[in-house]
Chain A
């Protein structure tokens, strides 16, 4: 079955610690995205990537970093500079960023501060 796999499902971070969230897709999609969701709110775009070795900032990129070394992988690092990291993080992919093809989502990682 093709899809998007996010891991871990739950993650805890200590103050001052960087953590990395994994996102893998086997849909052969060129574009991948990271979103943040706070309780009762919609999704906000953190970073997106149109192609390997290329990525752009979204609306709330401060305190986050990404890499895109392989087409199927788009890990997100939540750095210690992100002062309010507790949230639900969602990864998505689409064939490309143009056209009308919908984005497909993983089941998310819930990050909490210890």
Chain B
């Protein structure tokens, strides 16, 4: 099973880019990397996912290294509402079905 490693917490100034790293050194070739975030006492919110190419959507950008052993989620202009726990997740194949493997995530605090 692929696992992910994330720093437990990070700070970022409001208006600056927040760069959240994730290590997934044991990821296999056909596994996607997903990013979710969870604001306190709410359900996780999907942000972005990718396989090997960099991805961008209206919320964030995902940069995946060429060897796919790590990735970085970029929030280009962080706001106070971006304060949340951010989860970097890979999947595992269980009984012919893909399941998400959740770690403890990174608590991102955006400071005014």
Contact = CB atoms under 8 A, between A and B. Distances in A.
A17 interface: no
Contacts of B97: 48, 50, 56, 97-98
Interface residues of A, number: 28
Interface string A95-114: 00111101111111010000
A104 B46 CA distance: 7
A56 B44 contact: no
A97 B34 CA distance: 15
B99 A90 contact: no
Interface in B80-107: 87, 95, 97-100, 102-105
A108 B104 contact: no
A42 B87 contact: yes
B46 A110 contact: no
A45 B92 CA distance: 12
A24 B14 CA distance: 37
B34 A102 contact: yes
Interface of A: 4, 6, 35, 40-45, 48, 50, 56, 58, 88, 90, 92, 97-100, 102-108, 110
Given A48-B99, A90-B44, A106-B43, 15 more contacts: A35-B102, A50-B97, A58-B99, A88-B41, A90-B43, A92-B43, A97-B98, A97-B99, A98-B98, A100-B32, A102-B36, A105-B43, A105-B44, A105-B45, A110-B41
Interface of B: 32, 34, 36, 41-46, 49, 51, 87, 95, 97-100, 102-105
